[in-house]
Amino acid sequence: MILIRLWITLAIGSASLAAQPTELLVLEKLSSELGFYTADGKRLAGVPVGGHPHELLLSADGSQAYTTDNGKVWMTDPGEGGNTVSIIDIEARKRAGQINLGNFRCPHGIDLDPRSGRLVVTTENPDRLLLIDPAKQAIVRDYDTKGKSPHMVTLGPRYEWAYVSNTESATIAAIHLESGETKLIPCGKRPQGGTLSKNGKRLYVVNSGSGSITVIDTDRRSAVRTILVGKGPGRVELTPDGKDLIYSLGEDQAVGFASLGSGKQTAAIPLGTRPLSLTLSGDGEFAYVGGQEIDTVFVISVRERRIVRKFKTPNQAGPDPVLQISRGGQ
């Protein structure tokens, strides 16, 4: 009887989750807002955040979003940059707080330890990695990345190590968050975004300056393979079956696919504009790509490898990363 009740509870919960309306969060870099959109691209609301935010992340329970308020449109722009991480209440669609980073400016990459709720955030002025407690809105610790322009960060399989792309140094800094131990891993020119394999044993990092993907063994913390792709890869994800990588190609103005089996690029979907971000839907069926320069979001079928939808954001919004969420009861 207990098992039957448990099965019924799980079934009802799954049905309820499936019935929840899907929305999209679009980080509008140029207008410095987080936009709320329907799945088909109708803008519902906009929440002001810090100046020129670059990256977007959900809390473990999905109730909040975090934005890194970089303060610059491009990392090479002059100026000291911003120094905040904004906290957005998803249900209320309003900014619930702002973490002041003090002298640490130009926050960029961000990842989350779902066990503790703590964030890791890179800053480009100075070149550091920060460990942040968002509940206390405080910096817990900072780390030297031993490289220049730390850009993106990915936590390892047990959240013990953070992998930071030192963009101007052509290295990945593997940093042990407890001890502070740092190991530099050589990679291609201008490393950017990364993604983990499903078992966490491989980290794939795209190198925008060399048109390649560096494959890192997370047990040994060393590079074991290089995959050549198109020009200017910036962000990367793994397809649901774990067989292919999908990534944005800035210079090629396309979205590319590479087979892990063959180690070669197998497809490129032209966009007609330079993509910056690339994220996957929760089920991995769709890739969302921000076309900042033409205020357009592209929706790509991962299985069919084609654009299935695109929609416009307001003029000069500058859409960058997109995240899919579900809102219960709405």
> Is the Cα torsion angle 139, 144, 149, 151 positive or negative in sign?
negative
pLDDT tens per residue, range 238-261: 999 999 999 999 999 999 999 999
pLDDT attached to residue 215 = 98
CATH architecture of 148-270: 7 Propeller (2.130)
The pLDDT score that the predictor gives to residue 21 is: 63
Question: Domain coordinates of the chain in residue numbers?
Answer: 1-144+319-330, 148-270
Strand 43-48 to strand 33-38: parallel, antiparallel, or no bridges (unpaired)? antiparallel
Superfamily of the domain at 1-144+319-330: YVTN repeat-like/Quinoprotein amine dehydrogenase (2.130.10.10)
Residue 77: per-residue pLDDT? 82
Same topology, domains 1-144+319-330 and 148-270? Answer is: yes
- The overall pTM is greater than 0.85: yes
Residues 185-242: pLDDT tens digits?
A: 999 999 999 999 999 999 999 999 999 999 999 999 999 999 999 999 999 999 999 9
State the pLDDT at residue 75.
78
pLDDT value of position 8: 32
Element at 9 (helix H, strand E): helix 2-19
Task: Write the pLDDT tens digit of every residue in 64-115.
Answer: 999 999 999 987 888 899 999 999 999 999 999 999 999 999 999 999 999 9
Q: Pairing mode, if any, of strands 64-69 and 150-155? A: unpaired
Q: What is the pLDDT of residues 151-193, one digit of tens each?
A: 999 999 999 999 999 999 999 999 999 999 999 999 999 999 9
Measured CA angle at 280 (ends 274, 284), to 5 deg? 140
The closest alpha carbon to 111, from 80, 136, 93, 85, belongs to: 85
Q: What pLDDT, in 10s, does the model give residues 27-40?
A: 999 999 999 999 99
Per-residue pLDDT band at 20 (split at 50, 70, 90): very low
47 CB-near residues (< 8 Å, 6+ apart): 33, 34, 36, 88, 93, 94, 95
